[in-house]
Amino acid sequence: MKKIDIQKELNIKPVKIYKEVLDPDMVYIPVSSGANINNTYVYKDSVIDGVSLPISGFIVNKVLIKNREYYCISNDFKELSLNQTREPLNRDYMTTRLPNLDKIFTSNIKSLYINTIDQDPYIFNKYFMLKNDAEKIINTIEILINTMNLDSVYLVVVSQNEELISEYLNNTTTNRLKLKIVNNYYPIGNPKVLESELNLDSNSKLVDLEYILKIYKTILKRQSLTEKNITINGNALEEGVTLKVKLYTKLSDYFKYIKIKESNYEIILNNSLCGPKVREDMIITSNLEGVIINKVVDEESSPCIYCGLCNLVCPMHINPLKRNSKCINCGLCNFVCPSKIRNSGDSNE
Ligand code: SF4
Ligand code: SF4
């Protein structure tokens, strides 16, 4: 398999601007039950239609966004929460708070690998978690080592981020936390690709860095995870930004932090090579990693010349001309194709 470092090829520099924007005027919770709860006061971390609320305030009305109904909650900026549990931090309590912990940490799991690599070359969410959340990450890893009986925990980082985590080893008392450095190529941040790169055995498990912070928030802090990093970046912008935002806010609320320098641009969700095109009024959920705002390039495709390049780069070792369920929609086959054939992705949301 031919490995390509897209960040290097497209000269994409790390985002420099990071901001926490955690005081939205309004959040939008998807309606599923249809209950009429207008004018109800709701607390942060309470649950409506399966969603833990990121703020406290009154439900003021319902709105339709892209044919979906949402409760609008007006923020009272008090962050009032009724969640005051103080159970001891043992395995039973932890698995009650996060039921899938038991599935991840089965009794045979002795080594934990933490994926700290962003999936798209334009997105820097985990880069800023590594940079800003060292204490929380180390704290959580130490708890996991003790409660889950782990022999070792590896932070898996790409070589250019190695210096970001030098302090991790200096600031922990455990010698079971280790670094695992891998070369940067696309899409090494994808869990399936990384698992195969690491060649994990049955006693090892790979989890995402965001999951470690979820454990920190839900178990160590006894709150719900109601915020996340998103990146707005791309070649149509003066400069990209990574923002920590509340879930269930509107993406358009954050466009004031960027400057678009092109008139003809497209907004692509999560994956710059083949993600769907979206509108800026979309609501931020946990699946949104960021949007890439790129210049529209009008490229005419021409017939396949059977050069085999797409085949050569496919990280899942499948033939992109005959994609099957193993395809991870990375879009690398699109990127290398000299005939500009789009083998994957590209639908509109
Ligand atoms: S076929 Fe799928 S996995 Fe392979 S390069 Fe194309 S998008 Fe990626
Ligand atoms: S890279 Fe493009 S032109 Fe070459 S074999 Fe694949 S689809 Fe055909």
Q: What is the pLDDT of residue 349?
A: 56
Q: What is the pLDDT of residue 167?
A: 80
Tell me, in angstroms, the distance from the centre of ligand 1 to residue 317's CA: 8
Q: What is the pLDDT of residue 324?
A: 87
Which atom in ligand 2 lies closest to the alpha carbon of residue 320?
A: 6
| Mutation choice for ligand 2 from 274, 300, 304, CB with most ligand atoms inside 8 A | 304
pLDDT band, residue 4 (cuts 50/70/90): very high
Average pLDDT, the chain: 92
Q: What is the pLDDT of residue 32?
A: 87
Residue nearest atom 2 in ligand 2 by C-alpha distance = 337
Q: Which tokens is 60 given?
A: 């003021």
Q: Is residue 281 within 8 Å of residue 254, measured between CB atoms?
A: no
Kindly list the domain boundaries of the chain, sorted by start residue: 17-81+224-295, 85-220, 299-349
Q: Mean of the pLDDT values across residues 117-146?
A: 95
Residue 243 reports pLDDT greater than 70: yes
Instruction: Output the CA angle 156-160-164, nearest 5 degrees.
Output: 70
Which atom in ligand 1 lies closest to the alpha carbon of residue 343?
A: 6
Q: Map residue 73 onto helix, strand or coil.
A: strand
Contacts of 58 (CB under 8 A, 6+ apart): 39, 40, 41, 42, 73, 74, 76
User: CA-based Rg of the chain, rounded to a whole angstrom?
Assistant: 21
First-to-final CA distance of the chain? 32
CA distances (Å), origin 222, targets 56, 139, 219, 254: 17, 14, 5, 28
Question: What are 249-272's pLDDT values in tens digits?
Answer: 999 999 999 999 999 999 999 999
Q: At what angle do helices 134-147 and 125-132 cross, to 10 degrees?
A: 80
pLDDT band, residue 152 (cuts 50/70/90): very high
Q: Is residue 232 within 8 Å of residue 293, measured between CB atoms?
A: yes
| Mutation choice for ligand 1 from 310, 313, 334, 343, CB with most ligand atoms inside 8 A | 343
Q: What is the pLDDT of residue 154?
A: 96
Q: What is the pLDDT of residue 331?
A: 95
304 lines ligand 2 (CB under 6 A): yes
Among candidate residues 342, 126, 136, the one with its CA nearest the CA of residue 242: 126
Q: What is the pLDDT of residue 84?
A: 60
Q: What is the pLDDT of residue 347?
A: 54
Q: Considering the domain 299-349, what is its CATH architecture?
A: 2-Layer Sandwich (3.30)
Q: Mean of the pLDDT values across residues 66-70?
A: 89
State the burial class of residue 117 (Cβ atoms within 10 Å of its Cβ: 0-12, 13-18, 19+): buried
Q: What is the pLDDT of residue 96?
A: 79
Q: Rounded distance, CA 56 to CA 58, Å?
A: 7
Q: Mean of the pLDDT values across residues 235-257?
A: 97
Q: What is the pLDDT of residue 93?
A: 80
Q: Is residue 31 within 8 Å of residue 69, measured between CB atoms?
A: yes
Note whether 85-220 and 299-349 share their fold: no
63 lines ligand 2 (CB under 6 A): no
Question: What are 163-214's pLDDT values in tens digits?
Answer: 888 788 888 888 999 999 999 999 999 999 999 999 999 999 999 999 999 9
Q: What is the pLDDT of residue 200?
A: 95
Tell me, in angstroms, the distance from the centre of ligand 2 to residue 300's CA: 14
309 lines ligand 2 (CB under 6 A): yes
Residue 94 reports pLDDT greater than 70: yes
The larger pLDDT score, comparing residue 290 to residue 347, is at: 290
Residue nearest atom 1 in ligand 1 by C-alpha distance = 320
Q: What is the pLDDT of residue 346?
A: 60
Residue 34 reports pLDDT greater than 90: no
CA distances (Å), origin 214, targets 1, 87, 138, 179, 286: 34, 18, 13, 21, 11
Residue nearest atom 4 in ligand 2 by C-alpha distance = 307
| Mutation choice for ligand 2 from 305, 313, 327, 343, CB with most ligand atoms inside 8 A | 305
Residue nearest atom 5 in ligand 1 by C-alpha distance = 314
Q: Considering the domain 85-220, what is its CATH architecture?
A: 3-Layer(aba) Sandwich (3.40)
Among candidate residues 59, 56, 53, the one with its CA nearest the CA of residue 78: 56
Q: Rounded distance, CA 133 to CA 124, Å?
A: 14
The larger pLDDT score, comparing residue 47 to residue 194, is at: 194
- Please give the share of the chain, as a percent, with pLDDT higher than 70: 98
Widest pairwise Cα distance in the chain: 64
Looking at this protein, which amino acid is placed at residue 196?
S
pLDDT band, residue 344 (cuts 50/70/90): confident
What does DSSP assign to residue 120? S
Looking at this predicted complex, what is its ipTM? 0.99
H helical segments located in 239-329: 309-313
